Structure 1
């Protein structure tokens, strides 16, 4: 296995560990929010308001800017050196503040028509609609803060540092948890208190990145230009990428719009189920794609196609090796997971059953959700941002057709299943197009994925056998994970041995 692949596995483990901490805090946060807000009017209003800046974040930051920034900045460092290349992120930050500043101002001024556009079904309930408008005005400036964090992440990732950006979400979760505690202790309105907590947490996320940037010699004070050539190149890459990200966000908007016509609580059910899916997806699925991008960009820039293909395949195998058993576990233990984590306070039995149904539907698509990021990294490293955008547009049509067909008979579960279906179509289309760029035999998942699939099926059946005892079934997840890794190692699966060796060396050092 090449040094590039080993470095990806190492960095992915670091990012995965940091993200694991964030996800644990996130679950604790969601447990508290479920207790405080339940799945009623306050919850639907808060999650819609919070979703809007997050949607814009993926459009301007993670969805386009960061992915376009890393390859350009990486190449610029090689051409002119770090000191001159630093003018690019400074210039990008100025553009970021200008564009998002105007956008945020417009969103605050026109919050009412914006809310009506996103959730037209809320207009039938004046109290719900007005609350959503108020929370949107408070939370929307978070887009500026989190986009600044994403730009910092691009700089740090280019230098091979992934820990600080991965820990940023932990800080936000901590602030939101504290906000919920303050609301409960002092009797403040929980929805408004949590909205302000998001904004305060965003400021903290930005300041977390500054010490690490300083270590690499970067400062926001220095030369910048609105006509910076690096930003111009990044902008050209961003145009189709932003379109693709816009299509993806339109998918979310349409999902929210459709769910707003379903019974009250449907949006919250989908949110809580998505949070559970995001746990394995964020801990390792997204981590592999994040750390693979700088390495793939270097190989593509150097014209090393063979190593590029090997690295991409290793990234996909590593992703599937982790996400296949995770998907099996989510499907098998959907009810006990929701019951133990959220089933208390205002979150009653009907909410548990509804959220568990959505979780099963999302679990079917988990491997596809995870593999999208490494494939996107490959396209961006090859400076092809057009293809993912076109494929995303096709998948949006697939989602709408599937969603409309399924939401009638199955409600919100149909919308979750439509997301999984469109994601699998996305993966298939991206893989087929890569054949033209890398050759017909580029995809080599090998015995790793075959063995991982068989073992995952065993994990799913074993976990399901204990599902009637919620707390015990969740405790046994550790045992199933150890059995999966142990059997894979005995069967000489290289990814299993590489991960266990890395963890063992870390434990010895400590």
Structure 2
């Protein structure tokens, strides 16, 4: 536990700074382009390269490439060095080709992800932005492979800190755009202004990849282009990766449906479409990104080694510790998101080109997403159990079922709810689907490992929810009191609500949980107290 906590703390610190700068980036973005048609066009274009990377690389990295690199390091005479060089060579060449093809296919991609008329201004602007943003595919992919190699060497810092550089570059670009261009819509923005916005976004990814490549060099890795791909174990990777790619395809089909439904809602009610969905989802992902990703990154290589050596008891121990550590933070944060959604969103997004009412709607969507936080984190942790066994097929079926439920519920809620509530319905469908998916994944993973300690995990989570109840009550009291005193939400009263309900609420949770002797919280409190005493 202490080893995982220390490794996770290093990564969480980098991820926290990354997320903070990322939020500054989204705040500046929302202020510069708003959440209406121009904001929707940017967010649609920005989402496409990440979807392509998920399809081609990122899912395969966590489920296939990391375990294969670990095996190469353990079994190859050179410690896997040549294998890593072949992998980086292959990724670089393939992603350059993919990036070029994606730029040429930008109109088709925007058409796939939205319901906009090809003759509309928002469609044309989204296509132009996509053409400027899609070249980042090559740089992002190379950086991702470099980060995976670093993780297998227990060098977790650079992959977590490199996005900070990306965010700082893009923040500078967005500030320059805001100062130079000002408030413009899709009907009167020029290609040069779009180039500043799009190429500036790509410049951030270039900087991020550069940091990761330099960190890999400092770790002792020397890149030599290797084209003897027959020794790259592509057949083994394809056999293992085909199921992961299948899983990613299924989830991306769900994402395509989501963006189409959100863009339809945005056409009916401006500022209630893709942008509020994207901004609320980014806020929802923050706690998981800081805690969940850090724990998963540290846990997967160790679980893979334990499985390779037949130590299944250690797999169960590692998984149980990871779940309890993640949920010790996810549980209170999920309750706070459900209570304080608008108070979080208004200070971030209620200014510039975006109004307070539009920010409140983003907060309403975030409140619904709060329901999904714990199930989503559990689902992601459970998938790593299968990946550590080299099983990439089971997650495809679990993911397909989860996505199918999500898709069915999204279509149902979109049809039943007025357009002004459609995006909130999308968030609720997401929460229900991942709750069901987590139950199914737990059942299957438990059979694989011959028990995951469900009783112990369940009791631990029950105690965490009990410890978090006073925090939820305090947050509700803060929302009610501030509204009674100040009336409608604005920047000042939202900050007051957030400080009392969120800040004091988390302190209250830590105190209650520490008093209840919840081990994971006590470890966090002890680590922080020790650093403060120094």
Q: TM-score range by the shorter chain?
A: over 0.9
- Once the two structures are TM-superposed, the CA of residue 192 in structure 1 deviates from its matched residue by 3.4
| Partner residue, 1:416 | 427
Using a 3 Å threshold, how does the CA distance of structure 1 residues 191 and 16 change in structure 2: closer, same or farther? farther
Please give the per-residue CA displacement for 1:170-219, whole angstroms capped at 9, x wherever unaligned.
11111111001211333386643221112111111111123332233211
Aligned to 2:55, what secondary structure does the other structure show? Answer: helix
| Partner residue, 2:154 | 160
Q: Is the 8 A contact 1:139 1:198 kept in 2?
A: yes
Please give the per-residue CA displacement for 1:232-265, whole angstroms capped at 9, x wherever unaligned.
4333221101111121122111100111211333
Does 2:311 align with 1:319? no
Please give the per-residue CA displacement for 1:425-479, whole angstroms capped at 9, x wherever unaligned.
2211110111221224642305421111112232122112112331112223232
Listed as ranges, the matches of 1:225-374 within 5 Å are 225-262=228-265, 263=268, 264-265=270-271, 266-374=273-381
Q: Which residue of 12, 19, 23 corresponds with 1:23?
A: 19
Listed as ranges, the matches of 1:86-235 within 5 Å are 86-119=81-114, 121-123=115-117, 126-187=120-181, 191-221=194-224, 223=226, 225-235=228-238
Aligned to 1:247, what secondary structure does the other structure show? Answer: helix
Q: Distance in 1 between matches of 2:214 and 2:167?
A: 21
| Partner residue, 2:498 | 474
- Once the two structures are TM-superposed, the CA of residue 506 in structure 1 deviates from its matched residue by 3.9
After TM superposition, the runs of 4+ consecutive aligned structure 1 residues lying more than 6 A away are none
Q: Which residue of 420, 426, 430 corresponds with 2:437?
A: 426
Please give the per-residue CA displacement for 1:401-447, whole angstroms capped at 9, x wherever unaligned.
10011123131111111111111122111101112212246423054
Aligned to 1:39, what secondary structure does the other structure show? Answer: coil
- Once the two structures are TM-superposed, the CA of residue 231 in structure 1 deviates from its matched residue by 4.5
Does 2:27 align with 1:38? no
| Partner residue, 2:61 | 65
Q: Distance in 1 between matches of 2:296 and 2:194?
A: 34
- Once the two structures are TM-superposed, the CA of residue 480 in structure 1 deviates from its matched residue by 1.8
Please give the per-residue CA displacement for 1:294-349, whole angstroms capped at 9, x wherever unaligned.
11111111111111101101111111111011111111101111111111122114
Using a 3 Å threshold, how does the CA distance of structure 1 residues 231 and 498 change in structure 2: closer, same or farther? farther
The TM-score, its normalising length taken from structure 2, stands at 0.90
The unaligned stretches of length 5 or more in structure 1 are none
Q: Distance in 2 between matches of 1:214 and 1:231?
A: 25
Using a 3 Å threshold, how does the CA distance of structure 1 residues 125 and 351 change in structure 2: closer, same or farther? farther
How many residue pairs end up in the alignment?
503
Q: Is the 8 A contact 2:316 2:452 kept in 1?
A: no
| Partner residue, 2:485 | none
Q: Is the 8 A contact 1:72 1:230 kept in 2?
A: no
| Partner residue, 2:391 | 384
- Once the two structures are TM-superposed, the CA of residue 485 in structure 1 deviates from its matched residue by 1.5
Q: Is the 8 A contact 1:312 1:378 kept in 2?
A: yes
Q: Distance in 1 between matches of 2:121 and 2:88?
A: 38
Q: Is the 8 A contact 1:72 1:233 kept in 2?
A: no
Q: Is the 8 A contact 1:286 1:373 kept in 2?
A: no
Q: What RMSD, in angstroms, separates the aligned Cα atoms of the two structures?
A: 1.9
- Once the two structures are TM-superposed, the CA of residue 362 in structure 1 deviates from its matched residue by 0.9
| Partner residue, 1:47 | 43
Aligned to 1:61, what secondary structure does the other structure show? Answer: helix
Q: Is the 8 A contact 2:472 2:505 kept in 1?
A: no
Does 2:457 align with 1:445? yes
Please give the per-residue CA displacement for 1:332-374, whole angstroms capped at 9, x wherever unaligned.
1011111111111221143123212211111100112222222
| Partner residue, 1:75 | 71
Q: Is the 8 A contact 2:44 2:126 kept in 1?
A: yes
Q: Which sits farther off after the overlay, 57-66 or 107-116?
A: 57-66
Q: Distance in 1 between matches of 2:252 and 2:531?
A: 39
Which structure has more RCO (C-alpha within 8 Å, separation ≥ 6)? Answer: 1
Aligned to 2:58, what secondary structure does the other structure show? Answer: coil
Q: Distance in 1 between matches of 2:233 and 2:301?
A: 16
Q: Distance in 2 between matches of 1:277 and 1:458?
A: 22
Q: Distance in 2 between matches of 1:447 and 1:422?
A: 23
Q: Is the 8 A contact 1:66 1:150 kept in 2?
A: no
Q: Is the 8 A contact 1:91 1:231 kept in 2?
A: no
The unaligned stretches of length 5 or more in structure 2 are 183-188, 483-492
